Structure 1
Amino acid sequence: MPEWINILVRAITFIIVLFAVTKLLGKKQLSELSFFEYVSGITIGSIAAEVVMGLERNILNGVLGILAFGITPYFVGFLAMKSKKVRNFVEGKGTVFIKNGKVMEDNLKKEKYTTDELLELLRKKNVFQVADVEFAVLEPTGDLSVLLKKENQPITPKDLKLIVPSIKEPQTVIMDGVIMDEPLSTIGLSRRWLKSELDKLGVAIENVFLGQVDSYGQLTVDLYDDKLQVPSPQEKPLLLATMKKCQADLEIFALSTQDPSAKSMYTKNSEKLQEAINKVIPLIQN
């Protein structure tokens, strides 16, 4: 057998073997690795390269080696789920770098991190001053988790006592110019509704690269032609404008009438509508 065919067969064989082993280990092997998984991944790649290039003629030995290094992390992970001691030993524990706003120099030295490296990790979290940090811990994966001091944390609607609606994931209803029926049915909409919304935007279905419906039932589209501009949904702004106009009309009626009972009625309803507007503004403008 020619050498190039031999290498091709070996390469395809080990692609299949590595794919199977990676599926066995799960997504974690592809993202955040523990020290143990990192070493296993490097070793598996080295074994595959050796056998594929023919440096080790016995292909079965290479497969057994990869299986050994692939199955071992699987069982170690199983033991780690059952025992915190095993989990701490294999995956490690977080190391506190900043506590109560003070840098823990001994912990930095223990993990062999310099002050410059700590500042770099903080900048990646959009933190540029150590004094702004209440607590920071280096995770076993090497990522730095940061808790800002209360006065430096972003203001949330909860802090302002605002009521905001829950947001559901957007549904992709058009992809590559094709209507996706399953997402449409998931949110209780039909093709007729979708086509009517596209008509409002003046867009043909075949010109839409991507179309999504948000949790408010509004359709947004991205066209194949990037030079074309699609107007943004106007339902919520129109609703708010209509409510404000009605409230203003009630105030005008109250000022223009001479009948005390009518004036009282218009004023009372105007105040009620203003209260409703104040409540829905955070929902509509979100």
Structure 2
Amino acid sequence: MPDWLEVVLRTLFGVLALFAMTRLLGKRQITQLSPFEYITGISIGNLAASISLDVEYAWYLGLIALSVWVLVSLGIEFLQMKSIKMRNLIDSTATVLIKEGKILEDNVKKERLTTTELMSKLRKKSVFKVADVEFAIIEPSGEINILLKREHQPLTAAHLGIKVGPEIEPQAVIEDGNIMDEPLATMGLSREWLYEELQKLGVTVENVFFGQVNGFGELYVDLYDDQLQVSESQQRATLFAQLKKIEADIELFGLTTKNAEAKQMYEQSSKQLQQMIEDLKPVLVRC
């Protein structure tokens, strides 16, 4: 067999072997790497290169070496799951770099970080003032996670005492001009509904590069032609306006009726509707 053909076959074999072993090791191996995972990745890459190019040695010897590395990695991961001591020994532990707005110099030096590097990592988290940080922790992977002081945290519905329903996962229903039936069925929708919504927007399926339905049943479309403007759905705004109109009508009925029992019923209904509108306002009114 010619050398060039053997190299081609060895390379293809190496790619397939690496892919299979990466799938076996799982997603953890391709995310932020621990020191051992970093070493494993380099070693497996070198072994795969040797399998491809070193025609003087039998290919199966490289495969045996790859298999040993994969088995060792799986064994280490098993030990990490079963033993906290092994987990801390192999991956190390998280280190607090900032506490209550003060940099812990000893810990920063221990992690071999300069203040310039620390500030750079803080800015990547959209934090520019150390004084705003309650805790900053460097994880074993090298990533820095930050907890801002309470007064500097973004305002949420929970801070306002507003209960918000669970968010329904948006579904892509059109891709490259093709309707995706499974996501439509997941949302409890049909092609007929989709065609009606597209007609309201004045577009056809063939003109849509990407279409997505959110948890409120609203369709968003991105067209192939970026110059065309598509109007946004007004369903929530329309519903809010209708509820306000009903509220006004009920108040009017309460003011005009001379029946005391009916007046009390209208006033009670009006208060209940006002409370419902207030609860729904964060959802129905766009910022």
Q: Tell whether the structures are fold-level matches, with TM greater than 0.5.
A: yes
**What is residue 146 of structure 1 aligned with on the other side?**
146
Q: Are 1:231 and 2:231 counterparts?
A: yes
**What is residue 87 of structure 1 aligned with on the other side?**
87
**What is residue 122 of structure 1 aligned with on the other side?**
122
The CA distance in 1 between the partners of 2:108 and 2:275, in whole Å, is: 55
Residue 250 of structure 1 deviates from its aligned partner by: 4.7
Residue 129 of structure 1 deviates from its aligned partner by: 0.9
Q: Are 1:42 and 2:42 counterparts?
A: yes
- Gaps in structure 1 of 5+ consecutive residues: none
- Within 5 Å, which residues of 2 pair with 1:43-58? 43-54=43-54, 56-58=56-58
Residue 276 of structure 1 deviates from its aligned partner by: 2.8
Secondary structure, counterpart of 1:97 in structure 2: strand
Distance 1:75 1:123, change over 3 A: same
- Within 5 Å, which residues of 2 pair with 1:69-218? 69-218=69-218
- Gaps in structure 2 of 5+ consecutive residues: none
The CA distance in 2 between the partners of 1:40 and 1:270, in whole Å, is: 68
Residue 168 of structure 1 deviates from its aligned partner by: 1.0
Residue 12 of structure 1 deviates from its aligned partner by: 0.6
Moved more, 222-231 or 110-119: 222-231
Q: Are 1:30 and 2:30 counterparts?
A: yes
For the 8 Å contact 1:50–1:56, the answer to whether it is kept is: no
For the 8 Å contact 2:3–2:55, the answer to whether it is kept is: no
The CA distance in 1 between the partners of 2:269 and 2:50, in whole Å, is: 82
Q: Deviations over 1:1-33 (max 9, x none)?
A: 322212111111111111111111111111121
Distance 1:56 1:19, change over 3 A: farther
Secondary structure, counterpart of 1:17 in structure 2: helix
The CA distance in 2 between the partners of 1:244 and 1:46, in whole Å, is: 69
Q: Which amino acid aligns with 2:75?
A: F
Taking structure 1 as the reference length, what is the TM-score of the superposition? 0.91
For the 8 Å contact 2:100–2:131, the answer to whether it is kept is: no
Residue 154 of structure 1 deviates from its aligned partner by: 1.1
The CA distance in 2 between the partners of 1:204 and 1:184, in whole Å, is: 17
**What is residue 17 of structure 1 aligned with on the other side?**
17
For the 8 Å contact 2:97–2:136, the answer to whether it is kept is: yes
The CA distance in 1 between the partners of 2:109 and 2:280, in whole Å, is: 53
**What is residue 65 of structure 1 aligned with on the other side?**
65
Distance 1:277 1:7, change over 3 A: same
Secondary structure, counterpart of 1:146 in structure 2: strand
The CA distance in 2 between the partners of 1:183 and 1:260, in whole Å, is: 53
For the 8 Å contact 1:163–1:282, the answer to whether it is kept is: no
Distance 1:51 1:263, change over 3 A: closer
**What is residue 279 of structure 2 aligned with on the other side?**
279
The CA distance in 2 between the partners of 1:72 and 1:16, in whole Å, is: 20
Residue-pair matches, total: 285
Moved more, 120-129 or 220-229: 220-229
Secondary structure, counterpart of 2:225 in structure 1: coil
Residue 51 of structure 1 deviates from its aligned partner by: 3.1
Distance 1:272 1:79, change over 3 A: closer
For the 8 Å contact 2:237–2:284, the answer to whether it is kept is: yes
Taking structure 2 as the reference length, what is the TM-score of the superposition? 0.91
Q: Which amino acid aligns with 2:81?
A: M
Secondary structure, counterpart of 1:141 in structure 2: coil
Give percent identity, aligned residues only. Answer: 49
